[in-house]
């Protein structure tokens, strides 16, 4: 059981470039989440999904898109990267809402220059 | 939406002393309050959590208390050790049959000195 994995671990982008971050879980979890973590600001929810084929906006969705075509994968896309999107991105999953504990991936450190 | 405030932002204690971190939340409907520990460069790890039907929960040196009336909850670490040094985050969530979204506090950097 790998749990929650994220690809890539590190990435440097130039302003205006695009990329996709992949989150994968092998625990058959229904709910998946994307957070960003910035110094002094804790983790903030970007988008989340309550099941295959569904997505919803979180607290800071602007500049990001997501897709959940397969239950085990949740993709986070940056269409035109900006320096303000420099952050550490964490993915998390939960089996169902009343299971409570969210399982986090190892994170992706993204720098936009 | 939910708003979680966390204090202090930094805390330095001597080894063996106790540490207390406090959080307040705004949404009275929130019913789940986890605490995460994050070491440098690592993912957040759940260390203890409490649900709204419980006032206190303890796990060895770690305890959490919840005051629903005042909408605040606290993390207590006793007999601190150097390995307790990390950033700690509180969070609040409304967990129902269809919803579960965590709102995090801004974190407390705990330094345990020898």
Average pLDDT over residues A84-110: 91
Using CA atoms, how far residue B20 sits from A6, A11, B12, B14, B105, in Å, is 33, 37, 11, 13, 15
Residues in A touching B6 (Cβ below 8 Å): 42
B20, exposed or middle or buried, with CB in 10 Å at 0-12, 13-18, 19+? middle
Tell if the CB–CB gap between A97 and B98 is shorter than 8 Å.
Answer: yes
Question: How far is C-alpha B62 from the geometric centre of its chain's CA atoms?
Answer: 10
Q: pLDDT of A29-83, one tens digit each?
A: 999 999 999 987 889 999 999 999 999 999 999 999 999 999 999 999 999 999 9
Q: How far is A44 from chain B (nearest CA, A)?
A: 7
A-to-B residue pairs, Cβ atoms closer than 8 angstroms: 60
Q: Report the SS3 class of residue B84.
A: helix
Which residue shows structure tokens 């970007």?
Answer: A46
> Of A45, A58, A104, which is closest to B44 when you measure between CB atoms?
A104
* Interface contact A58, partner B, CB < 8 A: yes
From chain A residues 71-110, the ones with a CB under 8 A of any chain B CB are 90, 94, 97-98, 100-102, 104-107
What pLDDT is attached to residue A41?
Answer: 81
Task: Render B11-66 in DSSP notation, one character per residue.
Answer: EEEETTS-EEEEEEES-TT--EEEEEEE-TTS--EEEEEEETT-SEEEETTEEEEE
Q: Does A60 touch chain B (CB under 8 A)?
A: no
- Please say if the pLDDT value at position A101 is more than 90: no
């Amino acid at each position: 059981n790998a749990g929650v994995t994220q690809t890539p671990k590190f990435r440097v982008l130039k302003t205006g470039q695009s990329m996709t971050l992949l989150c994968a879980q092998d625990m058959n979890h229904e709910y998946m989440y994307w957070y960003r973590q910035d110094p002094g600001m804790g983790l903030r929810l970007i988008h989340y999904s309550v099941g295959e084929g569904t997505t919803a906006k979180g607290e800071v969705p602007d500049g990001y898109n997501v897709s959940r075509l397969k239950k085990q994968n949740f993709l986070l896309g940056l269409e035109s990267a900006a320096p303000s999107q420099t952050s550490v991105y964490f993915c998390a999953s939960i089996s169902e809402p009343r299971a409570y504990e969210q399982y986090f991936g190892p994170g992706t450190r993204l720098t936009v220059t | 939406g939910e708003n979680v405030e966390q204090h202090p932002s930094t805390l330095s204690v001597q080894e063996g002393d106790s540490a207390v971190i406090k959080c307040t939340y705004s949404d009275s409907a929130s019913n789940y309050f986890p605490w995460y520990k994050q070491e440098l460069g690592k993912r957040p790890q759940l260390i203890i959590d409490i649900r709204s039907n419980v006032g206190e929960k303890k796990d060895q040196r770690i305890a959490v208390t919840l005051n629903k009336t005042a909408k605040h909850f606290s993390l207590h670490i006793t007999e601190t050790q150097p390995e307790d040094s990390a950033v700690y985050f509180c969070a609040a969530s409304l967990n129902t049959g269809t919803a579960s979204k965590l709102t995090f506090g801004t974190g407390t950097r705990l330094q345990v000195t020898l």
